[in-house]
Amino acid sequence: MSQGISLQPSRQLRRRYRAERRFKAYCVGALLLSIAFLVLFFSDMVRQGHSAFIQTEIQAEVTYNEDTVKFTNESVDESIAPLVSRAFFRSIPRRVDADPSLMGTTETLWLTATADVDQYRKKYSDRLEPEMQSTLERLESEGKVSYGFNKGLFTSGDSKIPSNAGLWSAFVGTFYVMLVVLAVSFPIGVATAIYLEEFAPDNRFTQGVEININNLAAVPSILFGLLGLAIFINFFGVPRSSALAGGLTLSLMTLPVIIISTRAALRAVPQNIRQGAQAVGASRWQAIRDHVLPLSLPGILTGTIIGVAQAMGETAPLLLIGMIAYIPDAPTSMTEAATVLPAQIFTWAGMPERAYVSLTAAGILVLLSLLITLNATAVILRNRFERRW
Amino acid sequence: MDTSQTLLVFFGGLVPMAAVAFALGRRKALLSDARGARMHSLPGQYGVYVATWMALPALAIGVVAACAVLIGVRVPSAPFVLSFALFGAAVGLAMALRRVEPTLRARNAIEKFVYWTLFAASLVSILTTFGIIISILFEALKFFNQVSVWDFVTGTNWSPVATFRPGQDAADSQFGSVPLFAGTFMITAIAMSVAIPVGLFAAIYMSEYASYRIRTFAKPLLEILAGIPTVVYGFFAAITVSPLVVDVAAFFGLNASYTNALAPGLVMGIMIIPFISSLSDDVINAIPNSLREGAYALGATKSETIKQIVLPAAFPGIMAASLLGVSRALGETMIVVMAAGLRPNLTWNPLEDMTTVTVRIVDALTGDQSFDSPETLAAFALGLVLFVVTLTLNLISIIVIRKFRQSYE
């Protein structure tokens, strides 16, 4: 007899189940919102930046002779010349110097168009002088206009001519800065972590050092810029805007990241390993050097890569030490004025011409793909070599 | 000789010399071993011992000379310093080599040397903190010599006068920081009203509802958000979100500035989501399952358990995570530099343009101001306040998290 018992949940229970579903929906919604933003963000960057990877090129006959070396605009047909990027004309004397046999000859080349023509063809702007529009239409019908891969984006330095601006000097600057960051923060960070994890007595001082490191990891990055400006540049006289000054400043920011992850990697090595080594006569340092460090190396390297990737995207402290200078040529030493990828992106973002918007987004895509590669390497390293005990 | 050449000669000389010292020390130990003496340590350890004592005096002389150059004391020429360092190295080598005896505990000496090297490395992080404090404090004190603290804290007008323009007097400058802090707190508040709910709910989902597979997929996705450089967020806020805010405001008949406070605030909130979610996730995972099972046993549904048992137990940790988020929002620079305004503006309306502490710091230090102009010094005073506020927030949250971990261990 099941008459007295209702199989339907009571009204109150139904309300509680509804509340349950609602709560779960909020949670799922929060996650979906974050992922939706991520998708929106990446598609926006691709939408804005993809067009900067290709560039309008115009086929034209280039004449090299005494006159055109001086008045370089005359090296191509008078009607086409206004459509061709100034960067090409500037390169003519250099071309002839490099290969004197060019003198007195004519060759057919694909030349980079000006940013105005490029933007017009990509339909970002409709402002182009009517004369140039008609020349462009004529050339298009003759098949003398096409898109080519924008090599200059990767091979040339910054430029005030948007069609000639590239990331090369920023790549070189980033490389130098990261070299300094690695050389300074890796040894000091790993040494600090070994000290804290393996040697330090548990006293007030050690706790203070630990709290201090945790705090440093959360200090606003711009304050590190103030430190770099006051200590490295004004006190120690490191050249302003140099890769050395930037690298030293970023090293101090990367230090806590490396320390924290190295400590976690050392802690993951079981105590048995140390005791085993010491039981057969190894000293404390020998046990660490020969057993603990090799076993924790994947974890240490993972943390280091993540720290370097973070430093590579950092801009704010570099603004204060002057690394937003206009750097058309790649630096050749640590003490020369340099720029880095995020700083170059910041500089381009502040340029008034429309063409720089696509360039900025393209620079962002390049930076993001570098960072994602680095982080993916770190994750793969961790998954492949990490030992579970 | 320029600096890089001197360094090259110094280190280029030191490395082969250390190798020679190592070989000498090791040879002496091997020889006495062959003569039948029982050595305390391994031959190689005597080698390292001698090499260390050879290198230390040379390095010490080099460091002292470098510091003397940096603080501007006149030092003898580079060749003299180099030969002096060489002399120190020779003395160290001779003395250490003489001490290589069967009773010398070379291994213990190395151990001690390693210990102190590691200890010295751990001081760098403390020196960094001191470096930040010193570099900010002195300039800030210079500023407060010129401007009273009271005016700085309570003044509502921030209008530094550029000293390099003729006919203008720096004394006319006004340094009331209230509008800057109002802007900072407004943008922080907008950011946190996005980041705390979204981050917390995402963390609850990941730790309480999600299956293992969804977790391994969604967690790295959220972490990508934390890995995007702030300059990229800044560009996104300025070029995409700000115009969007203006359009939406116009749709509702409101007038929004293109450098409104809402856009950088929203984007900053999205940037902070992963910080809140991953910290809260850890905290919620640390709550023992027995608490949840007790609630289920009494008939609570899952969400009731979370709301009435798990979240109250995790509250200190979640609060600490939120404070860390606030600290990050206060100090965030690139997003506001690129998307927020430059004009100090005291208003409650997030659609108007506002400026923040970090924007003014960057503006003052990247302009053509001379280094001791009041505006530059003001940047350091702002930096000091920023440091003190974020330090307090960080310390509270670090200590709360430590206590929380201990209570559930």
Strand A54-63 relative to strand B174-175: parallel, antiparallel, unpaired?
A: unpaired
- Residue B100 in this model has a pLDDT that exceeds 90: no
- Residue B165 in this model has a pLDDT that exceeds 60: no
| Interval A243-265 mean pLDDT | 94
Best mutation target among A174, A211, A226, A248 (most B Cβ atoms within 10 Å) is A226
Co-location of A130 and A175 in the same domain: no
A342 and B391 in contact by Cβ < 8 A?
no
Q: Which domain holds residue A99?
A: 56-148
Co-location of A199 and A127 in the same domain: no
B227 and A34 in contact by Cβ < 8 A?
no
Determine contact, residues A317/B361, Cβ cutoff 8 Å.
Answer: no
Which pLDDT band holds residue A250 (cuts at 50, 70, 90)? very high
Q: What ipTM does this complex have? A: 0.89
Co-location of A111 and A210 in the same domain: no
Co-location of A124 and A172 in the same domain: no
Co-location of A144 and A227 in the same domain: no
B205 and A27 in contact by Cβ < 8 A?
yes
Strand spans (E) along B94-237 = 158-159, 174-175
B200 and A215 in contact by Cβ < 8 A?
no
A237 and B70 in contact by Cβ < 8 A?
yes
Give the list of residues 6+ apart from residue B377 with CB closer than 8 angstroms, or none: B139, B140, B142, B143, B146
Which pLDDT band holds residue B230 (cuts at 50, 70, 90)? very high
The closest of A206, A173, A47 to B125, measured between CA atoms, is A206
Q: Is residue A32 domain-resident?
A: no
Tell me what pLDDT residue B306 has.
94
Q: Is residue A133 domain-resident?
A: yes
Which class is domain B170-408? mainly alpha
Q: Is residue A267 domain-resident?
A: yes
Q: Is residue A162 domain-resident?
A: no
Tell me the C-alpha distance between A17 and B260, whole Å: 42
Measured between CB atoms, which of B202, B235, B324 is closest to A360? B235
Best mutation target among A26, A34, A262 (most B Cβ atoms within 10 Å) is A34
Q: For helices B212-227 and A11-49, what crossing angle results, to 10°?
A: 40
Give the gap in angstroms from C-alpha A170 to the nearest C-alpha of chain B. Answer: 15
Residues of A in contact with B231 (CB under 8 A): 313, 315, 342-343, 345-346, 349
Best mutation target among B3, B52, B108, B201 (most A Cβ atoms within 10 Å) is B201
Partner residues linked to A110 by β-bridges: A59
Measured between CB atoms, which of A30, A44, A226 is closest to B236? A44
Q: Is residue A25 domain-resident?
A: no
| Interval B177-203 mean pLDDT | 94
Q: Which of A124-133, A318-327, B133-142, B193-202 holds the top average pLDDT?
A: B193-202
The closest of B158, B77, B141, B178 to B381, measured between CA atoms, is B141
Of residues A1 and A67, more confidence is placed in A67
Tell me what pLDDT residue A381 has.
86
Measured between CB atoms, which of B107, B132, B390 is closest to A227? B132
| Interval A69-85 mean pLDDT | 80
pTM comes to: 0.89
Tell me the per-residue pLDDT of A164-213, one tens digit each, with 9 for 90 and over.
Answer: 888 999 999 999 999 999 999 999 999 999 999 999 998 999 999 999 99
Task: Name the domain boundary from A116, A148, A180.
Answer: A148
Task: Name the domain boundary from A93, A115, A148.
Answer: A148
* Number of domains composing chain A: 2
SS3 A327: coil
B394 and A215 in contact by Cβ < 8 A?
yes
Tell me the domain boundaries of chain B. Answer: 3-128, 170-408
Please classify residue B393 by burial: count the beta carbons closer than 10 Å to its beta carbon, then call 0-12 exposed, 13-18 middle and 19+ buried.
Answer: buried
Tell me the per-residue pLDDT of B362-402, one tens digit each, with 9 for 90 and over.
Answer: 988 887 666 677 788 888 999 999 999 999 999 999 889 88
Tell me the per-residue pLDDT of B20-76, one tens digit each, with 9 for 90 and over.
Answer: 889 988 888 888 888 888 888 888 888 889 899 888 888 888 888 877 777 666 667
Size of interface A-B (CB pairs under 8 A): 256
The CATH number that applies at residue A236 is: 1.10.3720.10
Cα Rg for chain A, rounded, in angstroms? 30
Tell me the C-alpha distance between B179 and B261, whole Å: 13
Min mean pLDDT across A2-11, B93-102, B115-124, B316-325 is at A2-11
Q: Alpha-carbon torsion B25, B31, B35, B36, what sign?
A: positive
| Interval A299-316 mean pLDDT | 93
Q: Is residue A9 domain-resident?
A: no
Q: Is residue A3 domain-resident?
A: no
Residues of B in contact with A213 (CB under 8 A): 125
Co-location of A178 and A267 in the same domain: yes
Starting at the edge strand found earlier in the chain, the sheet holding A106-112 runs A106-112, A54-63, A145-149
Give the list of residues 6+ apart from residue A12 with CB closer than 8 angstroms, or none: none
Determine contact, residues B54/B124, Cβ cutoff 8 Å.
Answer: no
